[in-house]
Structure formats: C-alpha cells, structure tokens
Chains A and B, each alone.
Chain A
Amino acid sequence: MYRYDDFDRQLVLERTEQFREQVKRRLSGDITEDQFRPLRLMNGVYLQLHAYMLRVAVPYGTLRADQLRQLGYIARRYDKGYGHFTTRQNIQYNWPKLDEIPDALLDLAKVEMHAIQTSGNCIRNTTTDQYAGAAADEIEDPRPYCELIRQWSTFHPEFTYLPRKFKIAVTGSPNDRAAVKVHDIGLRMHQNDAGEVGFEVIVGGGLGRTPFVGKTVRDFIGKNDLFSYLEAILRVYNRFGRRDNKYKARIKILVHEIGVEEMQRLVEEEWAQIKGGSLRVDDAEIAHYIEQFAPPAFETLSDDDSEFERRKAENREFSNWVRSNVIAHKQPGYAIANVSLKPIGGIPGDATDTQMELVADLSEQYSFGDVRVTHEQNLVLPHVKKADLFSLWAELKNANLATANLGYVTDIISCPGLDYCALATARSIPLSQRISERFSDLDRQHDIGELKIKISGCINACGHHHVGHIGILGLDKRGKEFYQITLGGDASENAEIGKIAGAGFSEAEVVDAIESLVTKYLGIRETGERFIDTYRRVGMDPFKEVLYGDR
C-alpha cells in the first residue's frame, strides 16, 4: 500500500495548519461565512441539518489497519461514537465542532489521511474497484494510477474552481465494480491490439437531476499519457463548461449539449498541445508506484482447504455467509471477505468506533492490515486465507458485522437523507430499514438473488437511485414524504439509467410496492435470471401492472 513520503506528509500538515488559520479567521470575524464556506468545503466541512459534518477522504477506498483504527478513535473523540461510509468510499462524521475540526484533521494527518477536496467544485476523491489487487478477474491493479491521479488532482491550481464538482473512477477489471460509466470521467483498463494495457476514457456520465451514461471519447490512452489527457479534458471543461446555471454545470451537460464528437475534437486539440509536456509520466515512475502497491507476502497454498470445506458443510450459517459475502481471489488458497455494514434493520454504511477498531484488528490478523471501503457502503478484507475464513466470520458475527447479504435485497445503498442532510427532501434511512426488515428472512433473500436497491432522499441522487435495479427517490409533496420508484437501472459495465415506473407512493405504501415487484419477478423469472435480467427481458409493463393495476 502507498505510504506517504516527507513531501506528502508536509503538504497535508501545511494544509491542516492553513485550515486552522482559516477557522481562526472565521471565528474572529476576519472572514465572513460567505468567504469561509468554500474554504471549509474544500476541507470537507459541511453544515448539515443538525450540526457540522466532516467528510474524510479514503483515497480509492483503501485503508490500512492503523488508519481505520484512527477513524474509530476520531469517531469517539470528536463525534458521537460512529461514522458513516459513503458511496464515494469516504467516511462522514455527523457531529464535529468547528473549533475542534483542526485537531481532528491533525489526528488524521498522523495516519496519512485528510479531508482535502471532499467537497467543493474541484476534483474529488478518485474511486476504484474495492477488490483492486485481489480480484481474480483483474487485468491490472488500478491503484497505482489512482494514487498518481490523487497527487495530480490535489490542489491543482487550475482546477480548484471548476464549474462544478468533478468525479473520476477507475476500474482495472472488465466486471466494473466502480460504476465508471456514471462518473464525470470513467477509466476502464483494457488491452489494445498491440497487447499494451491502457485506459478507455469515458466522459460525461453522472447521476443527479439529469442522469447520463458516459460516452467514450477515446478507446485507448497509454499509461504514460493518461495525465496529460486528463488535464486536457479538465481544461476543456474548465473553459467551456456552463457556469450560468448550477444544475447545468457538470461536464455531462457540456458533452450532451455540444455532442461527443465536438467534445472529442476539443479534447484532442488541447491534448495535442500538451501531450509531450511535463505531465508525461515515464515507465520508471509508473514502476515506482506499481511497486508501492505490490501484493502482500502471500503463502503458497492449495486452492482447496479441507478445513474450510468441512466448516461450510457443518455450519449452514457460515456457508450462507461464504456464498454471499466471499469472493474469488487471484491467489490460490485466498479469498476476498466482504464485511456487511447492512445488518437487518440497521443504518446502511454506519459503523461504530469499536466496530472500526475490531475490523482494523481483524485486518491485521487475517488480511495483511488491508481494508477497503466499497461504494456500496460495506467494508472488505481483501486477502484472507480460506483456512481463516471461519474464525474471521465468527469474530465478525460477534460484532454484528457478518450479515450474509452482499448484493442481496437488504444490501441497500442509502444516502443519509432528511435525517441528517440539509438538502434532502425526504428521509431515506428509515425506508431502507423497513425494506430490510421486510426481507429479513435469509432463505428468501438467497432465493431472490442479486437485487440492488438504491435510495436517495432528494434529486441530487447521492444514493445512486438511477442505477439501482430498483431505485427509490424520496420527494416532498406538500409537506409529506413520498417515494418515486425507478426500474432497470444498472451501475455495472452494462450501465443503464432506470426508468420511472409511474406516480410515487406514500411512505406507508412504498415497502408493499417493493415487495409486489419482487413477487412479480419471482413469478415470471426464468432459470438463472436475476431481477435485472428479467426486467430486461419483459420490460416495464408487467411490473407497472403490479404497482398500479388499472390505475
């Protein structure tokens, strides 16, 4: 894993000191709230419904044990004993005090972490596949490039006041777990005809009030040229992106309005001017970063572990967990273990200080001190020996962290919604809790199979409802919460924006509505079909009928 050197460390410390001064200037009245707001946002400090919120960056979703332990400490010391993992693989604290935030940032800096650019109209935390460096289906570990993007984008002097926020995601696997097609820039690693590995560049995807699936502006960009190419896209966006209307300021609107060909022309024209310049990264430097993410010291093992097989055969609960939460590893004898932060009836993505500390300990014991945060708001121990899975599971279970529901109907993405968020129009957490309780029966969940429900509490779509197989959008209708259902969304390599099924449902009706959709699917599915497959085969009408009948 990447370790800061003295330059990185110095930069974060200087930034922490700078923010401490800015807070001091704010509290003393030297700068107004209007002047302070963008400064605090650039440091991840929001003002939410009840209090300030601090969003801490987890670069490309990768954490070391000491970092996760420190996140637990911060939850206890500066907050109310918990944190919330987000769809950007970050963590949010809901109750920090402004005058204590500089100290919290200093404590983060001690473990090489920060809250830089977790808000504001700048380049946000780059996200990637949570299984990077472990997944069996991976072409190459994307994290060295993510780290290079992190550095290139941190305090980029030209791109700190963009028309709007800017999100980049990278996948190193053909099975896209990073939702790259719904990002401002999505990078998909693949091999070209010459056998070199590089990136397909997808631009202009995004959710929010005007969702789009991104479009390819370049089939292949070599690794050395990636950064000048990114700079070219950002410069085109900074110069030509709309600034007259906040809701039309994302790059997706620019791409939509001028067309992908014109976008391509502008980017290529800009790139031609800078591609030979100082942003070209040579092979030696790339190799240096690849080395930083070298695989841990795996043991040479057989892929079959008889003890593991015996435990599975003996213990149904364990084998259920393995079936849903354990994923194939590229190294024989190892597996990827997903730690669900979606206990039945719980708050999606929330973890207590002691849970964070426990997972940190377990990662040291079983996973080379490596932990990942997923955009679906769970944690991952990426490198666990199959022989250790049973003991790991038993310890997770004691801490209510072994819910066997990964990818199932109760593994719901939910934004904080009106319970915390100043922008929300409706609550989303209580709804996810009630759906989770309705489908709590594990056998039934396994029978239903993969079904991604995603809930947003307002049109900004932080809960990714547009790309949920079933998406739910909470709105306010004359002072009452009501919920609109979309169907057929997909965040994977087959990305699709879901379609609105029809009129919204009241808070009382919506869980029944979801259940009727699931029942319909179970009734008409063909062998091996997931919900999304059935939807694609039969279309909206049969589902619409169960929701609305003749209405």
Chain B
Amino acid sequence: MAIVKNDSVIDQEWITLDAEADLPPGEENIIVPLARFKEERETLIGRNGGLGVQLNPGDAPEDLANDLDRLSIITVHFPAYTDGRGYSYARVLRERLGFKGELRAIGDVLRDQILYMHRCGFDAYELKNDDDVSLTKVRAALKEMTVYYQPTGDGRVTAASLRERRRAALKSAS
C-alpha cells in the first residue's frame, strides 16, 4: 500500500474510522464516512486534530458544501474501478464547490484509471503496490496522453483552446 501525491510517496497521516469506531481521544487526524459526519458534525468539528470525510458511491458531495473549509482531505472510495461515480463527485467538489484540500482516490485504484482521476480533480492516489511500483505507475499514467478534448478542473489545456489560440495567432499575423 502506498499513497502517491505531487510526484512522491507520502506517509499515511490519517486514521479512517467507520460508522461505529470510537473517536480517538487525542489530536489524531481522522477521516469519517459522510453519513457519520452528518450525524456527529458538531462533535467532529469541535475536536482538535485534522478532519476528513470519505465519500462512498451513492453519497452526495453537495452535503459537504458548507463545511469544505473545515476539511483537509476528502477520500473518494472506488469499491471497484468500474464504479465511476467517484469521478463525478471529484468534479463537483473541485469545479462547483471549490474544494481546495487533498482529494484522494482509495479502493480499487489502478494505473489505467489514474489519468482520468487526475483530470477530474484528484491529487492523491492510494495504490495497493509498494512505494516504488506505485510511484512508477502514477508517473507513467500521468504522462501517457498529452491531448485533451474536455475542459475539466485539472486545468490541462484542451485541444479546442489550443486551436483557437492558433487561429487567433494566424489571424493577427496576416
């Protein structure tokens, strides 16, 4: 297991709690499922220590709209890589709600989906491989393609806008 972010392997600094687990007493950084966040919101935001939320398929990222400033991290769970709901959640969080913290893909995260995740706004990937293999995979995945048709929140320039620039340049040159 390794987490890759910003072209390096990072430490796991978060404890993920399920619906039942006791809250740790100290200032540990914790991630709770959205449902638990909604139920125990007051307690959770009153605690010391970092707070994050895990979105599972079927959750509504909009439920976090008013609390995004309080969250350092949101993890999006892909129970199977074929379940693509997390891609929409990421775009809604980044492009609509303006979430600036870490957006981490967890679960069935495989090399061949990482570029799509990145384009939708993820910036961290938890892979099942060891550190070196994970880093190699993420690096390879992110540079596999260089042409993009869709404008998405990752800011990569689209073919359409490059074409438009070129047309404008040709026009001003003539």
Those of B122-174 within 8 Å (CB) of chain A: 144-152, 159-160, 162-164, 167
Q: How long is the Cα–Cα vector from A11 to B85 in the complex, in angstroms?
A: 25
Contact of B87 among A22, A163, A238 (CB under 8 A): A238
A161 and B84 form a contact (CB under 8 A): yes
Distance in angstroms from A2 CB to nearest chain B CB is 13
Q: How long is the Cα–Cα vector from A35 to B137 in the complex, in angstroms?
A: 15
How many B residues touch A, CB cutoff 8 Å?
34
The interface-forming segment of A83-91, A150-158, A367-375 is A150-158
Q: Is B115 an interface residue (CB 8 A)?
A: yes
B159 and A151 form a contact (CB under 8 A): yes
Contact of B145 among A14, A238, A279 (CB under 8 A): A14
Distance in angstroms from B132 CB to nearest chain A CB is 15
Most chain A CB within 10 A, of B112, B119, B146, B164, is at: B112
Distance in angstroms from B142 CB to nearest chain A CB is 12
A160 and B144 form a contact (CB under 8 A): no
Contact of A161 among B81, B147, B152 (CB under 8 A): B81
How many A residues touch B, CB cutoff 8 Å?
35
Q: Is A285 an interface residue (CB 8 A)?
A: yes
**Nearest B residue to A235, CB-CB:** B88
Q: Is A159 an interface residue (CB 8 A)?
A: yes
Q: How long is the Cα–Cα vector from A279 to B153 in the complex, in angstroms?
A: 12
Q: Is A8 an interface residue (CB 8 A)?
A: yes
Per-residue A-contact encoding for B81-113, CB less than 8 Å = 1, 0 else: 111110111010000100000000000001011
Q: With A157-B115, A157-B116, A285-B160 given, is the CB distance from A11 to B147 under 8 Å?
A: yes
A238 and B164 form a contact (CB under 8 A): no
B147 and A158 form a contact (CB under 8 A): no
Q: How long is the Cα–Cα vector from A15 to B120 in the complex, in angstroms?
A: 19
A239 and B144 form a contact (CB under 8 A): no
Q: Is B57 an interface residue (CB 8 A)?
A: yes
Taking CB atoms, residues of chain A closer than 8 Å to B85 are 238-239, 243
Q: With A160-B116, A238-B87, A273-B96 given, is the CB distance from A7 to B159 under 8 Å?
A: yes
B146 and A157 form a contact (CB under 8 A): no
**Nearest B residue to A156, CB-CB:** B150
Q: Is A391 an interface residue (CB 8 A)?
A: no
Distance in angstroms from B123 CB to nearest chain A CB is 14
Q: How long is the Cα–Cα vector from A449 to B112 in the complex, in angstroms?
A: 52
Per-residue B-contact encoding for A251-291, CB less than 8 Å = 1, 0 else: 00000000000000000000001000111000001001000
Q: How long is the Cα–Cα vector from A18 to B112 in the complex, in angstroms?
A: 10
B57 and A14 form a contact (CB under 8 A): no
B91 and A18 form a contact (CB under 8 A): no
Distance in angstroms from A464 CB to nearest chain B CB is 27
**Nearest A residue to B143, CB-CB:** A14
Q: Is A47 an interface residue (CB 8 A)?
A: no
Q: Is A136 an interface residue (CB 8 A)?
A: no
A161 and B87 form a contact (CB under 8 A): yes
A39 and B87 form a contact (CB under 8 A): no
Beyond A157-B152, A162-B84, 13 additional pairs, beta carbon < 8 A = A7-B159, A7-B162, A8-B147, A11-B147, A15-B145, A152-B150, A155-B145, A157-B116, A159-B84, A160-B116, A239-B88, A243-B57, A279-B151
A sample of 28 inter-chain contacts (CB < 8 A) reads A7-B147, A7-B159, A8-B147, A18-B144, A22-B112, A151-B160, A155-B145, A155-B149, A157-B120, A157-B150, A158-B88, A158-B91, A159-B84, A160-B87, A160-B116, A161-B83, A161-B116, A162-B84, A163-B84, A238-B84, A238-B87, A239-B88, A243-B85, A273-B96, A278-B151, A279-B151, A285-B160, A288-B167
Ranked nearest first, the 7 interchain pairs of A and B with the lowest CB-CB distance are A161-B84, A157-B119, A278-B151, A11-B147, A7-B159, A157-B116, A158-B87
B residues bordering A, Cβ < 8 Å?
57, 81-85, 87-89, 91, 96, 110, 112-113, 115-117, 119-120, 144-152, 159-160, 162-164, 167
A residues bordering B, Cβ < 8 Å?
5, 7-8, 10-11, 14-15, 18, 22, 35, 38-39, 121, 151-152, 154-163, 235, 238-239, 243, 273, 277-279, 285, 288
